[in-house]
Amino acid sequence: MPHCTPEELALAALREPLPDDAAAHLAGCASCTGEVSRLRRAVDVLAVPELADPGPPVAPPPALWAGIAAATGVATAPRPGVVAASAPPADPVPDVPPAPLVPAARPEPGPVAPVVPLRPRRSRLLLAAAAALVVGLGIGAGAVALSGRDDDGVAVAEAVLDPLEDSGASGSAAVVEREDGTRVLRVELAADAPPEGYYEAWLLTESVTGLVPLGVVRPGTEDFQLPAGLDLGEYPVVDVSVEPLDGDPAHSGLSVARGQLS
């Protein structure tokens, strides 16, 4: 018969009943009995006699309910049956008048925030291609940011990220191949934080009809592991876009920096 499980040993240490087969094994097994004895030492040390054998319930002092009633405006007293019969009777609760209800002052309406229209998305074809690719590859495929850089590897392709539409964002990108054969895209972005949303890095085809999402990129340096087998000859364009917090995984069409790997 197998030994008692850790759960059964713990129950035995707590002096709880065990299943018949476990109890029979424990009675004749020196190993399990010794383990129960070791566990019981800890149980006995932590046992508090006052909690193990509590006395009769103690009624709360009369001032406790009076304070609750005064703070909340409740005028009724607890039902007599709430206090245990073994507890000494409590003094009668004084009749406390309810506190007057004062309506909260409504804040003055502030100025209406200006409505800023969103820039139109440049290409419906781009969004359709993005949605199709996300379904095929899965959201964030290959978009695992690397926390360690013990092995910098060798840069096999580089790109200069030029600003688009006077965005002011710029930077560089490099494909780094590590000793184990994995590749990462290292993006260095020089840009102010967007007023709304976040930056995201992508790899695009030259015709901008297919794309691979890499992940969120922040001003500074970020590394993204590239999917195994990804053909950089097919996706040579590095793109940085501003994405709104709308839950849509497709490309927003609002690119701020772009460059081609060479």
Predicted pLDDT of residue 259? 95
Averaged over 20-36, what is the pLDDT? 87
The pLDDT, as a whole number, for residue 62 is 74
SS3 (DSSP) at 202: strand
**Burial (CB count within 10 angstroms: exposed 0-12, middle 13-18, buried 19+), residue 71:** exposed
- pLDDT of 78: 66
**Span 179-194, pLDDT tens digits:** 888 899 999 999 999 9
Q: Does domain 124-260 have CATH number 1.20.1260?
A: no
Q: Which residue has the higher pLDDT, 59 or 261?
A: 261
Where does the chain hold its CATH 2.60.40 domain(s)?
Answer: 124-260
- Strands annotated E in the chain: 154-163, 170-177, 183-190, 198-204, 211-216, 220-225, 237-243, 255-260
Average pLDDT over residues 207-213: 90
Strands of the sheet with 198-204, listed across from one edge: 211-216, 198-204, 237-243, 255-260, 154-163, 170-177, 183-190, 220-225
